[in-house]
Structure 1
Amino acid sequence: MKLFMPDRVYIDPKSLEYDTGIMIKEKLETLNIPIIQTKKVEIEGKSPSENYAKAKKTIYLTVNREKKLRKCKPSADYQFALSSSCPGHCEYCYLQTTQGEKPFMKVFANVDEILKVVQEHIDENLPNITTFECGSITDPVALEHLTGSLKKCIEFFSNSENGRLRIITKFNNVDSFLDIKHNDHTKFRFSINTKYIIGKFEHSTSSFEERIEAATKIAKAGYPIGFIIAPIMIYENWKEDYRELLTSLKSQLVDYNKEITFELIQHRFTATAKELILTRFPNTELDLNEEKRQLKWGPYGKFKYVYPKEQSTEIKEYISVLIQDNFINSKIEYFT
């Protein structure tokens, strides 16, 4: 797909105290992207949906001063961020409720300081291996052509005896990672779904075919790989579509003999998320009918609506069998 380009970039002057910040600014200048040096981001749309759309084309170059990393179960031990938000317009995205009314993308210039905090967490957990997720609040691959930050992280973890990196993406901009000596310390996971769900709800992201092509490139480069199938939805012909998804994936990875992991996440939403989704996507065809769901207490102090137990069990068992039938080298890490 075409690489993302912002309409405008706001730059916090503090970010230019770092080599990465200077490099990103120079890159943006060569691309003739309007730059405003200020600590305040101003997005003024005529409606909430316009605010959202404008924010998704805006970058704020700043710094990340987080010293204590948040836990990230079941994906990893901890999460850290090179950026926040992403160019994708996925209607169901759980970040709808965490990024505010104007979810512009923050890009952090102080990568070395962020990695220093990562190293401190590794040292605290010695002699154990500590795993880190860097895609919990963003998609770092989507912004890599503007930042180069993820490549730096992969190189950092390649030299770490006790640290491991996990990446999740819906984008196919992976060529800059193919020649890195990664030492199997970074795992790429690709978020995949049926063609119906990607086409209907995952706007401004790479297509199913592009993601699988990118996954094949990463696999050939020797990285450990995995797939997140999320959000799994029940709709007309859902079983046939998920069967097609897994058989198509198998045909592209037939020569990959290492372990392939799968993470399975059913569709869920909170009352707050539903309100925001309907504001931003008034014509959405997402199934947000609370009466068809059951409440489940979430880890962040909010109830979420998930499928009733009978349907949830059916999803888990059906997708698990498809995976096991198609991939003898598969491991299902969790279903939630």
Structure 2
Amino acid sequence: MDLFIPEVAYINPQALKHPLGNEAYQYLKSLGVPIIESNRVSIDTDSPVKNYVKAKKTILLTVSKQKKLQQCKPSADYQFALSSSCPGHCEYCYLQTTQGEKPYMRLFVNIEEILENIQEYIDGNKPNITTFEAASITDPVGLDHITRALEKCITYFGESSHGRLRLVTKFDHVDPYLKLPHNGHTTFRFTINTQWVIKNFEHHTSSAHERVEGAKKIAHANYPLGFIIAPIMLYDHWEKDYKDLLEELSLALKDYEKPIGFELIQHRFTSKAKDLILQRFPNTKLNLDEESRKLKWGPYGQFKYVYPKEKSDYMRDYLTGLIKDLFPNGRIEYFT
């Protein structure tokens, strides 16, 4: 798919004090993107839906002041951000309830300070290996053509004796990472799903086939590789669609001999998320029928609606069976 180009870019003057900030500024300028020098983003339309859509076309180049990193189990020891929000318009996104009515994208360009902070965590945990997740609140690949911050991170972790990087993406724009000296210290994961799910709910993201092709490139570049199958949805032809998807992926990775991790996550939603989804996507095809789900207490202090146990167990058994049959080097990390 085409690279994301914002309709407007706000630039915090502090960002221009950093090399990546200046490079990104020149890149956006060359594309003819309107630029406003301000740390305050103004989005004020006449409806929440229009605010959401406009925000998803707006970026802010700025600096990260985060020093205290949050833990990120089970994915990694800690998480950090190179950006927030992403160009995708995924209707079910778990960030719907955390990024406000106007989820414009912030891109952090003070990469040298971000990496210095990470190094302090690595040093404080030696001689143990410390792992870091870079995609908890964003899709870094979807925005990295603007700042190239992820390229810097992969190279940095490639040289690190005790630090490891993990990330996940729904985009296939992986060419810039193929020749980097990663030394096997960065694990690339792709969120994959059936084309029916992607077409109906994952707007402005790469297609299922494009993601498989992106994963094939990453595999040939000898990165550690994994996949998040999420959100797993039950619909009329779901079994065939997931089987077709995994068969295509298996064929693409037939020469890849390293272990492949699979994280399986069924579709879930909270009452708060449901209200926001229906506000932003009034014609959604998402199944948000609370009566057909069961309540499960979530780790962030609220109930979520998941599939009933009988359906959930069948979903788990069916997909894990496919993975075991198609991927001799595959391992199921968890199902939730």
TM-score (norm 2): 0.98
Match of 2:113 in 1: 113
Paired positions, count? 336
Q: Which amino acid aligns with 1:328?
A: P
- Per-residue Cα deviation, 1:162-220 (whole angstroms, up to 9, x for no partner): 11101100001111001111100001001100111011110000011111111111100
Provide the secondary structure at the position in 1 that maps to 2:190. Answer: strand
1:208-219 to structure 2, matched below 5 A, reads 208-219=208-219
Q: Which amino acid aligns with 1:37?
A: E
Question: d(CA) in 1 for partners of 2:216 and 2:248?
Answer: 12
Q: Which amino acid aligns with 1:190?
A: F
Pairwise CA distance, 1:84: 0.2
Pairwise CA distance, 1:323: 0.3
Pairwise CA distance, 1:125: 1.5
Question: d(CA) in 2 for partners of 1:16 and 1:145?
Answer: 17
Q: Which moved more, 1:301-310 or 1:135-144?
A: 301-310
Match of 2:204 in 1: 204
Provide the secondary structure at the position in 2 that maps to 1:296. Answer: strand
Runs of 5+ consecutive residues of structure 1 not aligned to the other structure: none
1:52-67 to structure 2, matched below 5 A, reads 52-67=52-67
Pairwise CA distance, 1:265: 0.5
Question: d(CA) in 1 for partners of 2:286 and 2:45?
Answer: 25
Q: Which amino acid aligns with 2:252?
A: Q
Pairwise CA distance, 1:83: 0.1
Provide the secondary structure at the position in 2 that maps to 1:4. Answer: coil
Question: d(CA) in 2 for partners of 1:282 and 1:168?
Answer: 28
Q: Which amino acid aligns with 2:63?
A: V
Question: d(CA) in 1 for partners of 2:106 and 2:302?
Answer: 25
Question: d(CA) in 2 for partners of 1:187 and 1:196?
Answer: 27
Pairwise CA distance, 1:289: 0.8
Provide the secondary structure at the position in 1 that maps to 2:107. Answer: strand
Pairwise CA distance, 1:293: 1.2
1:149-164 to structure 2, matched below 5 A, reads 149-164=149-164
1:213-228 to structure 2, matched below 5 A, reads 213-228=213-228
Provide the secondary structure at the position in 2 that maps to 1:155. Answer: helix
Q: Which amino acid aligns with 1:91?
A: E
Runs of 5+ consecutive residues of structure 2 not aligned to the other structure: none
- Per-residue Cα deviation, 1:128-152 (whole angstroms, up to 9, x for no partner): 1111110111011011111100000
1:146-185 to structure 2, matched below 5 A, reads 146-185=146-185
Q: Structure 1 stretches (4+) deviating beyond 3 angstroms? A: none
Question: d(CA) in 2 for partners of 1:77 and 1:146?
Answer: 27
Question: d(CA) in 1 for partners of 2:66 and 2:273?
Answer: 26
TM-score (norm 1): 0.98
1:280 is aligned to 2:273: no
1:98-137 to structure 2, matched below 5 A, reads 98-137=98-137
Provide the secondary structure at the position in 1 that maps to 2:296. Answer: strand
1:293 is aligned to 2:307: no
1:304 is aligned to 2:304: yes
1:1-16 to structure 2, matched below 5 A, reads 1-16=1-16
Residue identity (%): 61
Provide the secondary structure at the position in 2 that maps to 1:333. Answer: strand
Match of 1:240 in 2: 240
Q: Which moved more, 1:11-20 or 1:164-173?
A: 11-20
